[in-house]
Chain A
């Protein structure tokens, strides 16, 4: 019994001594490590050129010319690109200096010239209205009408017109909203309107494309140029001198020019808009520039995805503003500027005298066709003479 208790006491002492020794060893190890860590030089500090790190690895910093930093940043500003392993390859370019030029254009000449162009066209139209007045039907209302546009033509026109106006208003908000709307309605309301406008702009764009396609299909055959267009243009369309109406078919030279401006401008807007809608995925401008260069130009054909986007936003804005200016003139002449013109797109019917004055060749052909149809119907309805 005594021997057993003595043995337990010795074992307890040995365990206690071992635990104390282990604790001392651990404390000593941690303490020394801490001292080492405090004495080691920081690896983030770059030694001066030519110096070696005392106590560290035997690495000598490379000799660099005195203007090293200047040259480095010059290269960076020139668009020096590196390699990255993330999906966004354009992140390899530290500074895209073209962005500065793009931003200056986007916030400077583009909105400024666009605003002046819109104000100027409204001013010219107002002046024209004051001097010339409303272009009236010189022979008065005939009281008889002929069909100017069928229902499918008018659906295509209104689809194009309404979608264009929505896109113009939401697009103008992108360009001018911060200057015109933001101070009036405050940041919260402007933000809500701009976000809604952005989505509306994206979605309504496809209605514009459908309208473009529809009107192109139904009107293309009437819009090929002819020698009569030169006469019409030489006489100013008869708009400046009363009693002067150069002959025209269904569309006069002015309407043909408008048609092609809308079609080509609309196509360009659609393509650049799609490039903006699905960013960094197209090489629209590089390919276009390559085609244009066949005509002797020297436009850049190797563009980075960021440059493509910058060209797309600038071109989209330029074409949109140009078309808005053109369409303001079109709306004026189709409503306030010319008596009897709006009904062509309203009811589809126009007064016979209006048609004879503004589209004489077309009117004569339509009237002959109508009379031939009426004669045929009358002949068919008339009873056969008795034998």
Chain B
């Protein structure tokens, strides 16, 4: 039981950390290919 609870804690911590890190990164096609506003195409 203790191992199960600890695994849930680990799951929550890893998931939260992933959310924080991934929100700083481009994760969609629009993020990847969006042009900067000062660039004229």
Contacts and interface: CB of A to CB of B under 8 A. Distances in A.
Interface size, B (range): 20 to 34
Contacts of B7: 154-159, 162
Contacts of B11: 159, 162-163, 204, 207
Nearest to B2: A151
Interface string B1-33: 111101110110011111100100111110011
A86 B4 contact: no
Contacts of A85: 41
Interface of B: 1-4, 6-8, 10-11, 14-19, 22, 25-29, 32-35, 41
Interface residues of A, number: 30
A207 B11 CA distance: 6
Contacts of B26: 278
A73 to B, nearest CB: 26
14 contacts: A87-B34, A151-B3, A154-B3, A155-B3, A157-B7, A159-B10, A204-B15, A205-B18, A206-B18, A210-B10, A277-B22, A280-B32, A346-B4, A348-B3
Contacts of A347: 1
B4 A154 contact: yes
Interface in A201-230: 202-207, 210
User: Which secondary structure dominates chain A's binding surface?
Assistant: helix
A159 B7 CA distance: 5
A302 B8 CA distance: 43
A279 B11 CA distance: 25
A36 interface: no
Contact of A279 (B3, B32, B41): B32
Interface core residue of A86, A88, A155 (most chain B CB under 10 Å): A155
Given A151-B6, A157-B7, 16 more contacts: A87-B34, A151-B2, A155-B3, A158-B3, A159-B10, A162-B8, A200-B15, A203-B15, A203-B18, A203-B22, A204-B18, A206-B15, A210-B14, A280-B32, A281-B32, A346-B1
B15 A279 contact: no
Contacts of A203: 15-16, 18-19, 22
Contacts of B41: 85-86
A95 to B, nearest CB: 18
A279 B25 CA distance: 12
A128 interface: no
A364 B6 CA distance: 31
Nearest to A159: B7
A200 B22 CA distance: 12
A260 interface: no
Contacts of A129: none
A244 B34 CA distance: 64
Nearest to B19: A203
A206 B16 CA distance: 10
Interface string A331-348: 000000000000000111
